A and B are shown apart, each in its own frame.
Chain A
Amino acid sequence: MNVKIYGEGINRIGVRQITPQIYWICHCIGKDAEKHNGGFAADFARINPNIDPTANDINYNSYLFMDEKTLLIDTLGPAQHNTILEVLSDLLGERQLDYLWISHTELPHAANATAIRRQYPDLQLMAVGGHDHYEIHGLEDALLLDYGDELKLGEHEIEIIKPIFLDHALTQWLYERKTGFLCPVDWALMAQNEHQSFLFMDEMEATGYSPERFMHDVSITNCVVFAWLRWADPDQIAEAIDAFFAKYDIRIFAASHTQVIRKDVPAYLAALREAMRRAVTADYNLVY
């Protein structure tokens, strides 16, 4: 595995190249994840025996496009504020960061926008349009994008797309046509153990992972991420996914909290569809 690692523990970031011009910038804790993340995997495993009880780590992903123009997707979280600046300095060298796209304004995705802007003062901040009161989200001077808007980076052409699964109102997804790169943000969040840090999904298979395992895990984790699914209709959800998959040729599935899927993508997308159907009808065990 070719990964360059910066920092350690809660500051740690690993960088891998997905294509010659697209980098995966990933925070995960590694061996101390259970301590920092509260050991949630054991809780999941008690009621779901198929969950790996050591899978206490969650990815927080950013992506960097290095074309004629440079684009960063999301900023990682507060504890990675120094490390992300070091990573960007290393990757960009003398180049400027032209665009910073905020998928949504939760802190794990947007917390370091101010620090990154300080390092790259000429960058254009971009966020979803069609809302009000941006100032309370710290986005008062962002370029506001509509679904369907396009951005040419050079060879890469970005399209802003409407999410089919979202929690925060100021959420948008992103698709790049040349590579079939999809960033569906929080969709398909999964957990991993310390031996699976920074692995592409195809490399995960050497650790016993599979599309079936992915389907099972996501059907549980996405009940937490999108708690509103319990009010939805499973057939409508499946139809929405089918329509989405028919519209976009997805060749790189690059979500915010998932290992990057770059091979055997159709098998994982089929697993994801079934996972969401199952999530709708799962037992949410809510405390009212």
Chain B
Amino acid sequence: MIKHIVDDLYQIGESAIDQDGWCEAVRIYVALNDGHPLLFDAGSHIHRGQIMADLKELLGDAAPGHIFLTHTELPHTGNLSAILEAWPGTKFVVSSGILPHVEMPWWVKPEQIEYAHAGACHSYGSRQVSFSDAILKDQPGTQWMFDERTGSLFTGDAFGYLFPEACDRQFDDEMADGVPVDYFRRYHESAFRFLPMVSGDKVKADLAKVMAKRQVNVIAPTHGNAIRGDVPKHVARVNEALSEICQ
């Protein structure tokens, strides 16, 4: 499923559905980047066929220049082998906090890995990507990335949401009233099991610092569709969900 978000930024990837009809998205974000395409996360191995078909349609003759990994968990890296098989020259950008010999597939060569430090900003083709610590995460060595051209913040697991199948292909501005608080709550209480042990006010204060530091036009979670219509409204809804889950 190829969805155009803004400018040269696209979303692909499929969803898994549970017995009760709730879906969990596993997205890849693709910036075409004037012939030096950038991928943010690599998608799930269970969606390999559709992901590769969509990537080839979207990229045409251009090979991905870099894949940025928010973290190395399987839903974010499961499709790496297929991407590397198709485009063996692709490089990876990972957090400086990971140890590749235990967190990257064994067949990835050390020279394919580039490390990003939180606080750094680097050029990739024609655009700048900056890196920060992931504020809400389920694995050490998780990073968030910010695309300076589109104002897109790639948040990995954070800002994800579960949704009914009818919403699978809808951005927030294509839904009647955006993404409901309940969808965010369902995902965050499931993905971040430590939240009931912490202060919601402290979590929200940290998220506010992230939003205050940059102009975020798009939030791009791996486990949800891009939020592009009304970012402040949806940050408020995530905060409301956190208030329900946390202390």
Q: Please report A residues at the B interface, Cβ cutoff 8 Å.
A: 10, 27, 29, 36-38, 58, 60, 76-81, 105-108, 110-111, 131-133, 135-138, 165-169, 171, 224-228, 230-233, 236-237, 240, 286-288
Contacts and interface: CB of A to CB of B under 8 A. Distances in A.
Interface in B43-74: 44-46, 72-74
B28 interface: no
B86 interface: no
Nearest to A164: B197
8 contacts: A36-B100, A38-B115, A78-B106, A80-B102, A111-B102, A136-B75, A137-B75, A225-B140
Nearest to A60: B102
Contacts of B106: 78-79, 81
Interface of B: 16, 18, 22, 24, 26, 44-46, 72-75, 77-78, 96-97, 99-106, 115, 118-119, 131-133, 135, 137-140, 190-195, 197-199, 202-203, 206, 209-210, 213, 246-247
A287 B140 contact: no
A58 B44 contact: no
A106 B139 contact: yes
B194 A167 contact: yes
Given A135-B46, A233-B247, 19 more contacts: A60-B102, A78-B102, A78-B106, A106-B72, A106-B73, A107-B73, A107-B74, A107-B77, A107-B104, A108-B102, A108-B103, A132-B24, A138-B74, A166-B193, A167-B138, A171-B193, A232-B199, A287-B131, A288-B132
Contact of B137 (A105, A227, A231, A232): A227
B9 to A, nearest CB: 23
A187 to B, nearest CB: 12
B78 A136 contact: yes
A36 B206 contact: no
Contact of A231 (B74, B75, B190, B198): B198
Contacts of A240: 197
B101 A167 contact: no
A169 B102 contact: no
B198 A228 contact: yes
CB-based closest 4 A-B pairs: A77-B102, A231-B198, A287-B118, A10-B101
Contacts of A226: 194
B139 A168 contact: yes
Contact of A136 (B16, B22, B119): B16
B133 A286 contact: yes
Given A77-B103, A132-B190, A107 B72 contact: yes
Nearest to B14: A136
Contacts of B22: 132
B190 to A, nearest CB: 6
Contacts of A79: 101-102, 106
Contacts of A108: 99, 102-103
A168 B140 contact: no
Given A38-B96, A135-B16, A231 B203 contact: yes
A168 B139 CA distance: 6
B213 A288 contact: yes
A81 B101 CA distance: 11
Nearest to B210: A288
Contacts of A227: 133, 137, 140
A225 B99 CA distance: 13
Nearest to A109: B102
A129 B75 CA distance: 18
A20 B115 CA distance: 43
Contacts of A233: 199, 247
A108 B25 CA distance: 24
B59 to A, nearest CB: 24
Nearest to B137: A227
Contacts of A78: 101-106
Contacts of B133: 227, 286-288
A237 to B, nearest CB: 8
Contacts of A137: 73-75
A288 B206 contact: yes
A80 to B, nearest CB: 8
A37 B103 CA distance: 11
A138 B48 CA distance: 13
